Chain A
């Protein structure tokens, strides 16, 4: 009995699927924590850009304001990680942290800005 070529072929596993690949509902279902992570990275890049702008164009109020906004946003998301790292807030509230901290931070910075200018 001879083995045909097809039978002799080794079984090939498919390479692992990745996040969002062949997954039409994934993006709409992205949990808040993932956004918190992503936005912190995005704001980090923004800070680099704004910082360069701020140094080269020192007295532009708009840039200063944007920089302050971005730094606050980035910092509050960092605070979220610190609070979870040290278990200062229970992991049960991780979703609340992800939206409440940036909101509180941005409101605070807005008030401070209004007081100065």
Chain B
């Protein structure tokens, strides 16, 4: 077989540089397309062209679940996907999985998924009365029911493929629910009710997209697992009934004379009409002018006591706060430069408006300086010298009691 040239596009993200990341193109000679996996492709590029590419793998035989990534628009294991599995007309496109924070290039942080495993109690807890290992016959109904679900390698492909994971932060996601299902269906399990209760609310977020079922490299169907949990809960979940808190209230006397049926009919039409109008109007408004999901929510973060900020000085404070996005949250540290002159407090961002280097304050000259290209700003943040196109950016701030808060 003669060698063919394939264009390989690899998503690159460097945590030291930050930003959005993007594809870098490589060209590779492929000797035998049906014997070369994506892992081979990556290893070739790493050895021969670019040693800085980061990706994960261990077993090479679809057992460890570490090489999950998005290959040409679909979640797959790099070690199980051959070059010949992709149409020859397409570039080979390798990109990290969705819905996991990207650490570097193709390597993602899988913690959000494992936290979801924990929340749905997806670990085995044997029934107390069992002293001997319970034997489940290969043809037992539960064994047939669970089928492949115990084969999950926690690769995260299903979590990446499911768009609902991104829209519902509390959603446990397909992988955790497939695991919960395998345990709920297991007669040796000692946490039946607890697990059912923990998993059920998440199941309502499933919209039967079946993306997870399509991509699972182990042939598991998390969709089916989720439906199973819901059906089981329907008949077996023990609900502790809440005391109904209905208070007897006197009906208010009618103010004007309208016949009851007419009123209800009128009100009904009005409510439905208003609902339709509001629904359509807001859908249209949100899609045209609303903020996109990617815009991080702003929040007020406390800097500390105002009295601790020395008069006339510029103090740099490191803020630590939790940022939530999608199904995970991340602790972020952000420096803020706070200038305090008599009564005036200004909170500056440390990123230089030129190219984003870190700006610092120089006490001797009473100026802000950027070390990269010599941008210089005065006490009010205006540019004195250098290439910055505008004054230093500021955070909005407010004072509550003796505390200073900034809007991040």
Contacts and interface: CB of A to CB of B under 8 A. Distances in A.
A91 B102 contact: no
In this complex, the member of B21, B109, B210, B211 whose beta carbon has the largest number of chain A beta carbons within 10 angstroms is B210
B280 A49 contact: yes
A16 B208 contact: no
B209 interface: yes
Given A16-B325, A37-B209, A23 B100 contact: no
A25 B109 contact: no
B100 A16 contact: yes
A15 to B, nearest CB: 6
B358 interface: yes
Contact of A13 (B73, B210, B231, B330): B330
Contact of A16 (B224, B227, B328): B328
Interface in A51-80: 52, 80
Given A10-B333, A87-B224, A24 B96 contact: no
Interface in B80-130: 90, 93, 95-103, 108-109
A114 interface: no
B208 A33 contact: yes
A32 B214 CA distance: 9
Contacts of B245: none
Interface string A92-107: 0010000000000000
Contact of B279 (A13, A32, A48): A48
A12 interface: yes
Given A14-B20, A23-B70, A25-B90, A33 B101 contact: no
Contacts of A37: 207-209
A11 to B, nearest CB: 5
Contacts of A5: 358, 371
A14 B101 contact: yes
Interface string A20-42: 01111111110111101100000
A112 to B, nearest CB: 27
A26 B211 CA distance: 12
Contacts of B15: 11-14
A109 interface: no
B355 interface: no
A86 interface: yes
B210 A34 contact: yes
A12 B18 contact: yes
Contacts of B11: 22
A29 B87 CA distance: 12
A15 B296 CA distance: 10
Contacts of B367: none
A23 B95 contact: yes
A52 B273 CA distance: 9
A45 interface: yes
Nearest to A86: B231
B283 interface: yes
Interface string B1-27: 000000000010101101111110000
B210 A16 contact: no
Interface in B266-321: 276, 279-280, 283, 293-294, 296
Interface in B37-93: 70, 72-74, 90, 93
23 contacts: A5-B358, A5-B371, A11-B16, A12-B15, A14-B19, A14-B101, A16-B100, A17-B98, A17-B99, A22-B11, A22-B23, A22-B95, A23-B70, A27-B73, A29-B72, A33-B211, A34-B209, A37-B208, A91-B210, A91-B213, A91-B221, A91-B224, A94-B223
Given A13-B15, A29-B72, 12 more contacts: A13-B330, A14-B15, A14-B102, A16-B108, A25-B90, A27-B73, A34-B209, A34-B211, A48-B279, A85-B230, A86-B231, A91-B224
Closest 4 CB pairs of A and B: A25-B73, A33-B210, A29-B73, A13-B101
Interface of B: 11, 13, 15-16, 18-23, 70, 72-74, 90, 93, 95-103, 108-109, 163, 166, 207-211, 213-214, 221, 223-224, 227-228, 230-231, 276, 279-280, 283, 293-294, 296, 325-326, 328, 330, 332-333, 358, 371
Interface of A: 5-6, 9-19, 21-29, 31-34, 36-37, 45, 48-49, 52, 80-81, 84-87, 91, 94
